[in-house]
Amino acid sequence: MEKPNHTIDSLGDICPLPLVKAKKLYESMCSGDSLKIITDHSCVVSSLNEYFIHFPCTIFIEEVLNGVWEIYIKKV
């Protein structure tokens, strides 16, 4: 996985906060930029996936620790 341009550490945050942060940052991102969101709450994974699936971007989700996920969003 290439180094992301932006990172949001959302450990301890629940929805909708990570989604709000990701949405705001995504809007300011240029085409080709990528964003990594770190979360420890499964609902955040679902909500980000459900939201960004409608945007021109690629989403990659990895559970890096039991109960901790890195979500990579790359704007196309």
* Amino acid identity, position 27: E
Which residues are bridge partners to 59 per DSSP? 73
Q: State how far the Cα of 25 lies from the Cα of 19, in Å rounded to an integer.
A: 10
User: Quick one: 12 or 56, whose CB is closer to other proteins?
Assistant: 12
Figure out which of the listed residues 1, 20, 24, 43 binds other proteins, where binding follows CB under 8 A. Answer: 43
Figure out which of the listed residues 25, 33, 40, 72 binds other proteins, where binding follows CB under 8 A. Answer: 40
Q: State how far the Cα of 54 lies from the Cα of 56, in Å rounded to an integer.
A: 7
Phi, then psi, of 21 in degrees rounded to 5: -65, -45
Figure out which of the listed residues 3, 12, 31, 53 binds other proteins, where binding follows CB under 8 A. Answer: 12
CB 38 within 8 A of CB 28: no
CB of residue 37 to other proteins, shortest distance in Å: 13
CB of residue 2 to other proteins, shortest distance in Å: 20
Residues in contact with other proteins by CB under 8 A are 11-15, 38, 40-43, 64-68
